[in-house]
Amino acid sequence: MLSYRHAFHAGNHADVLKHYLLVRLLDYLNQKDKPYWYVDTHAGAGAYQLDSHYASKNAEFAGGIARLWQRHDLPAGLAQYVDVVRGLNQDGKLLHYPGSPLVAAPLLRQGDRLRLFELHPTDFPILENNMATLRRQAKLFKSDGFAGLKAVLPPEPRRGLVLIDPPYEEKQDYQRVVQAMEEALRRFPTGTYAIWYPMLQRYESRQLPENLKHLPVKSWLHASLTVHTPNEDGFGMHGSGMFILNPPWRLHEELSTTLPYLRTHLALDPGASYQLEQLAG
């Protein structure tokens, strides 16, 4: 199935959590001089217009990035993420939102590389256009990111961050995530892997982080954010999570401050909450 279009959801609360953590993970990688690869298995279109028909239909960004845009009390790591978004909005108006590739691109140094996968026939040419100025650093693949991951691991510099965030339109995506991680860890056990998932009232969503905890790594970090009470009819996404394998050791401490902040400022009702847990190797 290729019906999912992230443009409908750009800049929402789930993007805030995912892209804030992406910025922080790349920042930690930048603290060493050695180059690395950033690999994105489901890159999307790369950037989104928030005044487009897609984004404005449900205006999900109003409950996400728009709530942080004008704040002056952001924790330092969250402020770094918001600054990346501001880089696409030079006139000070919130009209554009970066997808994961363009969240990562401003943070990469000259020797770092991007490997981006996107299968959607409409989004791929848009991604190509959005990444045109980064052709020396980026390679784009119009293919399934789960399958393509094998071809780019291990990265040549033996340092890297892999973001896995499929649309989860099909139940099989949850199992494909686990299978992809098992294979990736065999090829590149020292890499950092960030797996995003939606919080839904379905078994596969609730079980995914539990399954990831059994992967053969010495350390992991699990952060999730719920912005409202689950709907009584069982439909809809009430939050999201990021499960990080081989995380930076200081990230847990930072999240213990940032997650409560996000819960307070992105909450839609008193059911908003967060979870933070880790296995420290």
The catalytic site residues sit at: 165
Name residue, tokens 């909005």. Answer: 89
CA angle, 137 as apex, 133 and 142 as ends, to 5°? 85
**Residue 29 to residue 20: CA distance in whole angstroms:** 15
Of the candidates 147, 99, 104, which has an alpha carbon nearest to the alpha carbon of residue 123?
A: 99
CB neighbour burial string for 262-277, b if at least 16 within 10 angstroms, e if fewer? bbeebbeeeebbbeee
What backbone torsions phi and psi does residue 92 show, to the nearest 5 degrees?
85, -5
**Residue 254 to residue 233: CA distance in whole angstroms:** 35
